[in-house]
Amino acid sequence: MTLLDGITARLLPTDRLAVNVLERQGDSPGGIPVLLVHGNVSSALFWQELMLRLPANYRVIAVDLRGFGETDPAPVDATRGLGDFSDDLAATREALGLASVHLVGWSMGGGVVMQYALEHPARSITLQAPVPPYGFGGTAGPEGRRLTDDDAGCGGGGVNPDFVARLRAGDRSAEAPTSPLNVYRSAYVHAGFSSPLEGVWVDSMLSTRTGDDHYPGDSVPSDNWPGFAAGKRGIANAMAPGYFNVGALAGLAEKPPVLWIRGDADAIVSDASFFDVNQLGKAGIIPGWPGEDVAPPQPMVTQTRALLEEYAAAGGSSREVVLPNCGHSPHLEYPAEFLAELTAHIEAAEGAH
């Protein structure tokens, strides 16, 4: 691990597995608790700059999810959706001695946070470029209508095998479009963004454990285009719509306030995501696309907005912030703007707590 000055790491025993947590030196155990949850192909290392910038009266903790960073590499049961991660998060909170926390989830971590909120209280929720609430790929319409019974085109079979091989090999080069460094530059951040800590972020990506039980997971054949469907193991399958659906959020009796913050140039989560197999088919990159009626691209942003509008109509509070010329990582790309939005959100929730 590459830790910045002021950040420490420890392996925390829980009743499920040993979880690696990053903490900020000098934080008071009684500070306002903020739990940061990273996304897919990353780790807690990505949060370090934000951790150091948050107010001194916060207790800031970033966790490595299972199969990432230094946390135990326990297998992921995809048929539980993001439930393995959510249960691990609850066990981590309990081991830290915290009754409730402010949750910040990025990308897949946003899905983990939403799943967690269905089962546990939270002081507030911040969703940064979150996975859509009805799974990643394979759904249509703002309501998240599932396209096929087997989630064709979703899960581990849709992940580029050369990218996985380069993760496994620890490739830090820029020699191929599928190298982790180039995927970071082309998908995690907006064009032209640079950071002196780029090597740390690549180290974080390379901490991803690969294989059928981890990333990307297994795959099964399908009679539906494009010929594969979600398996039952591993991380990419855990976000398939047949396994992951947090549409019940709008029905929560106690609704924590939600901040949704995203970039308008996000290549991963958008209504025209090039990480969606159906979008690739529509663009002619994958041959044989059966058309909009059968395999429409997923309206990812529209689905999240529709759910949060329903959440607000049912008595909750939600706010959408869109940062211009920003990719998938607002906290890296526009740290001052992200910090201001996050702290205002947390302070408002604390005032109402």
Token reading at 33: 């608790």
Secondary element (H or E) of residue 205? helix 198-206
* Helix or strand holding residue 317 (H, E): none
Can you give the pLDDT at residue 353? 66
CB 95 within 8 A of CB 33: no
User: What was the pLDDT predicted at 352?
Assistant: 77
Helix (H) or strand (E) holding 80: none
The greatest distance separating any two alpha carbons of the chain, rounded to the nearest whole angstrom, comes to: 58
Q: What would the pLDDT profile of 26-43 be if each residue is shown by its tens digit?
A: 999 999 999 999 999 999
Q: How many CB atoms sit inside 10 A of residue 25's CB?
A: 9
Instruction: Tally the domains of the chain.
Output: 1
Reported as a single tens digit per residue, the pLDDT across 115-139 is: 999 999 999 999 999 999 999 999 9
- Asked if 299 and 279 touch (Cβ cutoff 8 Å), the reply is no
Show the domain range for 135.
7-148+243-352
Instruction: Read off the pTM.
Output: 0.97
Amino acid found at 303: Q
Would 84 be classed as within a structural domain? yes
User: Which one, of 96, 105, 88, 42, lies nearest residue 68 by Cα?
Assistant: 42
Domain annotation covers residue 178: no
Question: Does a structural domain hold residue 337?
Answer: yes
Position 222 in a domain: no
Q: Which residues of the chain have pLDDT under 50?
A: none
Res 185: pLDDT:
97
Instruction: Read off the CATH number of the domain in which 297 is found.
Output: 3.40.50.1820
Which tokens sit at 99?
């009754």
Q: What is the pLDDT of residue 210?
A: 98
Angle at 275 between CA 291 and CA 155, to 5 degrees: 90
In a domain? residue 195: no
